[in-house]
Structure 1
């Protein structure tokens, strides 16, 4: 799939190209992005990857948002929980041909890694693979916000204030980052319901690889409720936005596209 995506993208002429890879949590997009970078390097390109997850706001700033905006905003993931200025600064620096440190986020610790631990992208980068679960997604129609999509919204956002604020962020704050994407590919699962199993598997693999404990299945299920509204909206809208849309089966295999 990495080879196919690299072959499908339009060729860049002279400046760094940003390939966007949009896919739900646990779908394997980080692994695919790493494979794309490895394949690009085999082809002689200077390439690197950056995840939207890597620019989550530090926990302290999310807690400040929770106090100022809504308690649900303490959880990473929803619109408004990203440091968009940092993401844009990184991409601008790389587009200018300069070396740049790439932010990284520790999901098990729920905290951004210190800048001293960020990997370096060298000068003259030719390809940046930017991946994220809500990459390229626009706001919903305000009327669609009226009804809660899950228990979390019913019980903790009964008046809709949180989801309205998140929707405003999608409308006002994220387009500047989406405009940096030169070519967007979307991976589509069979439905949102299968994402829970994928994300539980991802959490288990991450914890096992690092020898630390992560979220249990119940915690993952609650975490995903923070993302469900925008996740379902992404599945409905990205096929019309992305340059390439690949349909996945329940085992994350491409079945069409």
Structure 2
């Protein structure tokens, strides 16, 4: 095992067997990205994976492997493009209350994402937007990490990166209790879908290579997210942190319900057109062929 991967596993408190997952997923993924970058300078790679699938960790390892191969690699997350807290509160007042909760299409600064991609492809220093989830707000630009371009490869990861809009007729029936109680007329899901068809279509249309981390199903995603929150509570309790800021299983269920419709659609639709599909099993390891 590479020394840097050993250090990464220790720093992130990952299980030792993560090294096997990294070799199985990240090595071949890095090889394919590097090959594609030869023909496409500034290659934009969209990495889509549901909540708690491990996409951020796997993307970080893939980045390091690409850098070990001599490539200049920029990495940013869809999460770091969230609108400010005040902007989302305004959406909640003016459009629909559910839009005050960050996450779905319509709650990101798409123009910032488009400008960022163009800047990363050029020479010079670029600030990488950074969102503070603890404060539920974007950090000041002075706190953003800096990247020196041009990038050979740009890795763009997020739970719905590359998603496409549903047909309007598919929005009629609620998919869960959240939609039945809080969006009975479909205004929220219609707004989200229109955002996907419009500005997000332009953003995701810039992707040169689409990668999908495919979960076995939405129910597994829900289990993953509950497990992630429980582990966070345990870690904060050990470290003397404020475990009260974490979510209970019931709160996780309510939160993930915001993402259910689009997560199910991605799992159904994206595998047919993604350039690379990586199947995960119920414990987030590569699924057996």
TM-score bracket relative to the smaller structure: over 0.9
Whether the aligned pair in 1 keeps the contact of 2:75 and 2:156 (CA below 8 Å) is yes
Select which of 244, 247, 268 maps to 1:236.
Answer: 268
Task: Write the mapping of 1:56-71 to structure 2, written as runs, cut at 5 A.
Answer: 56-71=82-97
In structure 1, list runs of 5 or more residues that go unmatched: none
Separation (CA, whole Å) in 2 of partners of 1:73 and 1:158: 15
Whether the aligned pair in 1 keeps the contact of 2:37 and 2:152 (CA below 8 Å) is no
Q: Segments of 4+ in structure 1 off by > 6 A?
A: none
The corresponding residue for 1:223 is 255
Count of residues in Structure 1 that have an aligned counterpart in Structure 2: 257
Q: How far 1:215 moved relative to its partner?
A: 2.4
Select which of 89, 108, 111 maps to 2:134.
Answer: 108
The corresponding residue for 1:4 is 28
* SS at structure 2 position matched to 1:12: helix
Task: Write the mapping of 1:130-141 to structure 2, written as runs, cut at 5 A.
Answer: 130-141=156-167
Q: How far 1:140 moved relative to its partner?
A: 0.7
Whether the aligned pair in 2 keeps the contact of 1:108 and 1:214 (CA below 8 Å) is no
Q: How far 1:15 moved relative to its partner?
A: 2.4
Q: How far 1:3 moved relative to its partner?
A: 1.4
The corresponding residue for 2:200 is 174
Q: How far 1:78 moved relative to its partner?
A: 1.0
Whether the aligned pair in 1 keeps the contact of 2:122 and 2:151 (CA below 8 Å) is no
Whether the aligned pair in 2 keeps the contact of 1:101 and 1:120 (CA below 8 Å) is yes
194-203 or 184-193, which moves further after superposition? 194-203
TM-score, L = length of structure 2: 0.84
Separation (CA, whole Å) in 2 of partners of 1:162 and 1:4: 39
* SS at structure 1 position matched to 2:124: coil
TM-score, L = length of structure 1: 0.94
Distance 1:31 1:149, change over 3 A: same
114-123 or 232-241, which moves further after superposition? 114-123
Select which of 57, 72, 76 maps to 2:102.
Answer: 76
* SS at structure 2 position matched to 1:174: helix
The corresponding residue for 2:278 is 246
Q: How far 1:84 moved relative to its partner?
A: 0.5
The corresponding residue for 1:44 is 70
Separation (CA, whole Å) in 1 of partners of 2:87 and 2:98: 13
Separation (CA, whole Å) in 1 of partners of 2:67 and 2:280: 26
Separation (CA, whole Å) in 2 of partners of 1:41 and 1:8: 14
Q: How far 1:87 moved relative to its partner?
A: 0.8
Whether the aligned pair in 2 keeps the contact of 1:246 and 1:256 (CA below 8 Å) is no
Q: How far 1:206 moved relative to its partner?
A: 5.2
* SS at structure 2 position matched to 1:87: helix
* SS at structure 1 position matched to 2:37: coil
Q: How far 1:204 moved relative to its partner?
A: 4.4
Q: Relative to total residues, which structure has the larger helix share, 1 or 2?
A: 2
* SS at structure 2 position matched to 1:131: strand
Task: Write the mapping of 1:7-46 to structure 2, written as runs, cut at 5 A.
Answer: 7-9=31-33, 10-13=36-39, 15-46=41-72
